[in-house]
Chain A
Amino acid sequence: MLNVENLSSGYGDIRVLHDVSFTVEGGEIVCLLGRNGAGKTTCLKTIMGLLRARSGSVTCGDVEVSRLPANEVPRHGIGYIPQGRRLFAELTVAENLEIGLMVRGKGRETRDRVLEMFPRLGERLNQRADTLSGGEQQMLATGRALCIEPSVLLLDEPTEGLQPSMIEQIRQAVTALRDRGVAILLVEQRVDAVLSIANRVVFLENGRSHPAIDAGELKTNPNLLHRFIGV
């Protein structure tokens, strides 16, 4: 579904990613793990086209999206939930969802499905996004990305700063999406959360990727976690 091959990118003269390669299949959760500054967020931004790939390729299905302008990438079914949520703060909940629906011309049915998944958003449709609680903002960021009806979903630290009950709700939503066949690439700092839902884990170290490891193998071999992220 999502194929990242020898991807390199960076900011200005600084190169952050060096020949990163991995795949994410439909109905699978792959987690990117690494220390701070390893290049996890940079990797997601490069997949979305928000940072230009200097070499390598990103393919979604049959389409090489790394050759497209950034605003064309989501039209190929790649949804993005960025770190810190990055909602359109002064727009209402309904307007934030509308922005997501416009990407691929989805309508009321899609919106109703999203509101069914996060009923609390339905109660706050006319409320400004920046007046929502942290958990509700995460629901909205997730709902906005789901309005695309993505086949690939990129999540950057979705549980950051959330209370345990909210983390569980987000976890359930992510696993439900996986069960529906969505390919999910997850960046997460909380190793326990990763091991509970990920199928495979890709370690990033100084911008270089290591071959994907089965999540079950990590549970039985904690030395790997110690080696790559120091826990």
Chain B
Amino acid sequence: MELGPYLILGLLEGLVTAAVLSLMALGLSLVFGVMRVVNVAHGEFFMVGAVLAWIIANAVDSHPAVNFLAALLLAPPATALLAAIADRLVLKRVAYDPERTIVATIGLLYIIQQVTLMTYGPDARPVEAPFNHRLSIPFVEWTESGMALYWPWGLGTTSYKLAVIGAAVLLLGAIWLLMTRTRIGLVMRATQLDSEMARAFAVPVDRVYAAVFGLGAGLAALAGVLIVPIQQAHYLMGHDPLLLSFIVVIIGGLGSLPGTVVAALLIGISDGMISVFFTPTLAKIIATLGVAFVLIFRPQGLFGRKGL
């Protein structure tokens, strides 16, 4: 196979990674942006989403599409509720102090992980995709009679992977509309900019924080549900996405939503490309190096504001 088809394959795999990563990193970025909380347990909400998807799909036990739809509708709100309760029981009690919330969310990480291990077990378990047609992708070649299409061996994807990319685009658009066109979004942005003045204008900041923490966790869980037909649900599956999400929000700029999406695309596509041509480990090494360079030359990130 020529280089071109490999590039397309890498781009497609990278877009799937970027789609899932952008949802997850957006949640992390929202929580930091509005609450100034670095949520180390964010990867566990991703894992809880995937594990709940498996539990729900097995409980429904119907057609794969019905099972998956039930998981997609129930797992993210359930995870969001769990996060909102954690906010009230833990983060509120440490008064959202930046240092203490880091320690508190590390504690949450281990509690969620160990409870999952004790109940769900150590096995990796799959959820069947609602649809999973193999799609071959054509490429162009020059023949004596001109340009012609051909189907290189190995160049293809699945309808489910394309659906994940489409779903992420729709969800990101929905979050953008929520933040910019609704009163809830206006209240969240006002709280992000000046929580004390938001209080002076009747914004129930504590409830906004619980909602934002829930929304952030819900987005991570959504990413977990979308990925579980591609990867299997496992109690340690939150680690890598957490690392990549931190890389994305640091490169994009902490608290910047457009920055998060652009950085997710950069990291996701480079991850896909480098994984296809070299190894996934090299992709992560390069992403981590990227963070180091951003921290040295542009500590506020590509789209972030100075002083954050």
Contacts and interface: CB of A to CB of B under 8 A. Distances in A.
B203 A86 contact: no
B190 interface: yes
A99 B201 CA distance: 7
A99 B199 contact: no
B190 A88 contact: yes
A91 B190 contact: yes
15 contacts: A49-B199, A71-B205, A75-B202, A82-B197, A86-B194, A86-B196, A88-B190, A89-B193, A98-B186, A99-B187, A99-B190, A99-B201, A100-B201, A102-B201, A144-B201
A88 B204 contact: no
B93 interface: no
Nearest to B189: A91
B183 interface: yes
Which range holds the interface residue count of chain A? 20 to 34
Interface string B193-218: 11011111111110000000000000
A179 interface: no
A70 B200 contact: yes
Interface string A96-134: 001110111000000000000000000000000000000
A74 interface: yes
A49 B187 CA distance: 19
B200 A50 contact: yes
A82 B200 contact: yes
Contacts of B202: 71-72, 74-75, 102-104
A95 interface: yes
Contacts of A73: 200
A71, A95, A102, A103: most-surrounded residue (chain B CB, <10 A): A71
Given A71-B205, A86-B194, A91 B199 contact: no
A231 B183 CA distance: 48
Given A95-B186, A99-B186, A88 B197 contact: yes
A74 B197 contact: no
Contacts of B198: 88, 99
Q: Among A80, A88, A98, A148, which residue has the most Cβ atoms of chain B within 10 A?
A: A88
